[in-house]
Amino acid sequence: MESSRMNNHQSIEQALDNAPLSMFHLRAMLISGLGFFTDAYDLFIIGAALVLVKSEWHLSGTMVGLVGSTTLLANFLGALVFGRLADILGRKKLYGLVAAIMSVGAILTAFSPNIYWLIGFRFLLGLGIGGDYPISAVIMSEYANVRDRGKLVGMVFSMQALGLIAGPMVAITLLATGMSHDLAWRIMLGLGALPALSVIYARRKMPESPRFQAQVLGKSSEAANQMRSYTNGQVGVMEESGSKPVPARLSFLQFITNRRMLLTLVGTAGTWFLFDYAYYGNSISTPLIMKTVAPHASLIQSEAWTLIVFAIAAVPGYALAVLKVDRIGHKRLQLIGFTVMGLAFLAMGVIPGITSMVVPFLVLYGISYFFAEFGPNTTTFILSAELYPVSVRTTAHGLSAGVAKIGAFIGVFLFPVLTKTLGLHGTFVITFVFAVLGTLLTLVLPEPANRSIETLSNTVSKAAVLEPGRAH
């Protein structure tokens, strides 16, 4: 705070980069993170709900796969559409809207009269979740200082951990009451609206991203005034007068035809795609996996094991990633996570009889989860929010997240099919191959830890042909 106030000539970008970790960072993190709690809960609670829905509505395996994956397909569209719009219209204008879409979608799923309405409402929910990915990630990245950027963006994403454990806890609680399965799954899905509803007002009160205002809209003074008010003076220094001229924007065509940015996009979108195939295929199918490993276990027991894996392995993985990502390096942590996660999948795929031994299997399954979180599940989200110029940052993150959700869609849809045809052993070997490819593709990315996002993006944007003052 003191250094920010002493230097009255630093730009808004420099003031943000140099600001000490403060309450306004944590407030922005919480507002963004509650959206990710919602995302995780809504995406993963369907695994528990589907066990009940399948029995009630006598669904085929294909329909189960479609219900579980339709939200992910909508994520693809939501991330692309809202990611691009946020670079054209601004982050704030869409931030409350995506939370509202998530809330409405979750409520409507609880009142689905049949499988087709459920699929349609889950699609609506998925549009909101997809839109939340690029906007939440980029807003936090653009608010963050250099030293703690990975930590802050990682903290937003780590709210997913709470959503992961909330799902099984809700499922166990509802099932333990003995209520009808029809009511239980509806409550499970409907509760996903609550956290999203809680942040709509707060998101509408947040100021526009100061970096977007200063660099894209040319409203440096307005950005400085809003940040001074929002941070209680902690980020309040700025050029003393006037607004900067509106800088050049990259058009979408210029973005996707720039060789350096396209290579970066292949890296961020490709690694996220490969990871999400493995992660979502396993996570949403965890009740199915537990039923295969322990066929005589009750539904409550299976959910309890799922909760144990998430609580003991996944949550510490998220926490350690947040604490160490800036010290280890964002790219380096992704390499570590992909490698160890892949080895765990390989062990589950090749060790004879492992899928019929509950405790050894859960240990390996837990290791895969720990290094998913202490690795690519966190870092793919962070890297996509910091490697691109501000005028295409949500576009690029949306493309990366959208392509990733296609991988998730494929994983969720194919996992039950592959398990039937190849067994768990064969399915895990395929997942190992995806992890190896993710490790190799990570190598094309630069290491952004402890570097200003302006420094990171300037090298790339200078290589592009800019069209001044126009948005596309």
Distance from C-alpha of 190 to C-alpha of 168, rounded to nearest angstrom: 15
- The pLDDT of residue 51 is 83
Residue 284 has pLDDT above 60, yes or no: no
- Rounded mean pLDDT of 87-96? 92
- The pLDDT of residue 467 is 42
Ranking 53-57, 196-200, 357-361, 394-398 by mean pLDDT, the lowest is 357-361
Distance from C-alpha of 225 to C-alpha of 233, rounded to nearest angstrom: 9
- The pLDDT of residue 292 is 62
Q: Which residues contact 12 (CB under 8 A, 6 or more apart)?
A: 210, 211, 214, 220, 223, 224, 227, 235, 238
- The pLDDT of residue 236 is 58
More confident residue, 201 or 335: 335
- The pLDDT of residue 304 is 76
Distance from C-alpha of 398 to C-alpha of 402, rounded to nearest angstrom: 6
Residue 163 has pLDDT above 90, yes or no: no
- The pLDDT of residue 171 is 86
Domain ranges of the chain: 2-468
Predicted confidence band at 97 (pLDDT cuts at 50, 70, 90)? very high
Residue 434 has pLDDT above 70, yes or no: yes
Portion of the chain with pLDDT greater than 70, in percent: 87
Q: Determine if residue 144 is left, alpha or beta; phi over 0 gives left, psi from -120 to 50 gives alpha, anything else beta.
A: beta
Say which amino acid occupies 68. Answer: G
Length of the chain: 472
Report yes or no: 408 and 279 within 8 Å, Cβ to Cβ. yes
Q: Which residues contact 85 (CB under 8 A, 6 or more apart)?
A: 94
List, in sequence order, every residue forming a beta bridge with 468; answer none if it has no partner: 248
Largest CA distance in the chain: 72
Residue 468 has pLDDT above 60, yes or no: no
**Could you say which architecture CATH assigns to the domain 2-468?**
Up-down Bundle (1.20)
- The pLDDT of residue 278 is 84
- Rounded mean pLDDT of 142-162? 92
Q: What would the pLDDT profile of 199-235 be if each residue is shown by its tens digit? A: 888 888 888 999 999 888 888 888 888 888 887 776 6
Q: What would the pLDDT profile of 4-36 be if each residue is shown by its tens digit? A: 343 445 688 888 898 888 888 999 999 999 888
- The pLDDT of residue 241 is 47
More confident residue, 394 or 280: 394
Q: Which of 470, 472, 263 is nearest to 387 (CA)?
A: 263
Residue 298 has pLDDT above 90, yes or no: no
- The pLDDT of residue 14 is 86
More confident residue, 458 or 189: 189
3-state helix, strand, coil in the chain (%, to 5): 80, 0, 20
Residue with tokens 């307005």: 222
Tokens of 424: 């768990």
Q: Which residues contact 260 (CB under 8 A, 6 or more apart)?
A: 459, 460, 463
More confident residue, 68 or 327: 327
- The pLDDT of residue 353 is 82
Residue 417 has pLDDT above 80, yes or no: no
- The pLDDT of residue 357 is 79
Three-class secondary structure of residue 404 per DSSP: helix
Ranking 170-174, 373-377, 401-405 by mean pLDDT, the lowest is 170-174
Report yes or no: 345 and 431 within 8 Å, Cβ to Cβ. yes
- The pLDDT of residue 237 is 54
- The pLDDT of residue 360 is 85
Q: Which helix (H) or strand (E) holds 131?
A: helix 115-143
- The pLDDT of residue 243 is 47
Predicted confidence band at 250 (pLDDT cuts at 50, 70, 90)? confident
- The pLDDT of residue 81 is 96
- The pLDDT of residue 242 is 47
- The pLDDT of residue 112 is 95
Residue 413 has pLDDT above 80, yes or no: no
Predicted confidence band at 328 (pLDDT cuts at 50, 70, 90)? very high
pLDDT mean across residues, the chain: 85
Residue with tokens 């991203």: 209
Q: Give 68-116 as a DSSP string.
A: HHHHHHHHHHHHHHHHHHHHHH-SHHHHHHHHHHHHHHHHHHHT-SSHH
More confident residue, 22 or 86: 86
Report yes or no: 393 and 384 within 8 Å, Cβ to Cβ. no
Residue 296 has pLDDT above 80, yes or no: no
- The pLDDT of residue 218 is 84
Ranking 120-124, 396-400, 418-422 by mean pLDDT, the lowest is 418-422
Report yes or no: 219 and 243 within 8 Å, Cβ to Cβ. yes
**Residue 390: CB atoms within 10 Å:** 25
Beta strands in 266-312 (DSSP E): none
Q: Give 370-393 as a DSSP string.
A: HHHHTTHHHHHHHHTTTSS-GGGH
